[in-house]
Structure 1
Amino acid sequence: MFSSFPECKGEDRVIQPTGDVITTEGETVTLDCTFDTSDTFPRLFWYKQEVNGFPRFILQVYSGAKDAEEFQKERMYATVNKTSVPLKIQKLQLSDSAVYYCALRPTVTANPQSLYKNTS
């Protein structure tokens, strides 16, 4: 089976600082993400990857709109600024400990196996 995805322009990219953010439960933290794109209305995504897990979609932001799946919207939110999309997490909980990734559209949302043709 083959799947097609919109073309990704070579100049599109996201930049996240490396390293850990150390804080305590109950506090508020902001995770930075800057981006370069030629898209007039960029769509950005945040993913959460827990230890021994896979990245899970948590938030999508574009043109002032936002979505969240399986997370409390009042605790996690992001707004697209001119060249950044910081993720703010309030009232931190131990379960928030993870690696967080931001991404520009397009992203692969299908099962990776569907991207390859089975030749056996």
Structure 2
Amino acid sequence: MLTLCFFLFNGRCYIIEAEEENVSQPTEDVMVVEGQPTKLSCTFDTTDLLPYLFCYKQQANGNPMFMLREDIFGAGETNTEFKERFHARLNVTVKSVPLTIQRVQLSDSAVYYCALRPTVTTGYTSPLQI
């Protein structure tokens, strides 16, 4: 556990325990035949009982683009651009959320990220496509 100390005006120190979280993805390139499906691995470790996983796509020289958010209830959110061919299912038992791409296209060439917290936002809590 990480321990953070937050000081209030009266000088008292309140201890806040923050959970350690971690997301792992393979670092090697994935080679796929155009038109075929592929599955990209993402595993995570968190003490959060109701985790959310976010997926992002970043093309060369571009900014990360929000793709989708998944939760254990299957009530996630998918950016319109990715609804048809991109799917992920959060599995808390094995702590993974593989990203499946149906009918891979040349335009799918990119770096894909998964995260336990939104990383591209508007200042609100909902992710934003840039």
Deviation at 1:8?
Answer: 9.5
State the match for 2:71 in structure 1. Answer: 62
Give the alignment partner of residue 29 of structure 2, picking from 10, 20, 23: 20
Whichever residue aligns with residue 90 of structure 2, its letter is V
Question: What TM-score comes out, normalization by structure 2 length?
Answer: 0.73
Distance 1:89 1:15 in 2: 19
Query: 1:81 maps to what in 2?
Result: 91
Unaligned runs of 5+ in 1: 1-6, 112-120
SS in 2 for 1:71: helix
**Residues 61-87 of structure 1 deviation map (CA, whole Å, 9 limit, x = unaligned):** 002122211324231010100200000
Aligned residue number for residue 95 of structure 1: 107
**Structure 2 CA distance for aligned equivalents of residues 104 and 59 of structure 1:** 12
In 2, Cα distance between equivalents of 1:70 and 1:96: 15
How far apart in 2 are the matches of 1:98 and 1:87? Answer: 13
C-alpha RMSD of matched pairs (Å): 2.0
The question of whether the paired residues in 2 share the 8 Å contact of 1:76 and 1:90 is answered with yes
- Is contact 2:19-2:47 (8 Å) kept? no
Report the AA paired with residue 114 of structure 2. Answer: C
Q: Which residue of 1 aligns with 2:5?
A: none
Secondary structure at the counterpart of residue 65 of structure 1: coil
Greater relative contact order structure (CA < 8 Å, 6+ sep): 1
Which consecutive unaligned segments of at least 5 residues does structure 2 have? 1-15, 124-130
Larger radius of gyration: 2
User: For the structure 1 residues 77 and 12, does the alpha-carbon distance in structure 2 shift closer, same or farther, using more than 3 Å as the test?
Assistant: same
Which of the pair is proportionally richer in strand?
A: 2
Please report the TM-score for the alignment, with normalisation by the length of structure 1: 0.79
CA distance in 2 between counterparts of 1:72 and 1:28 reads 14
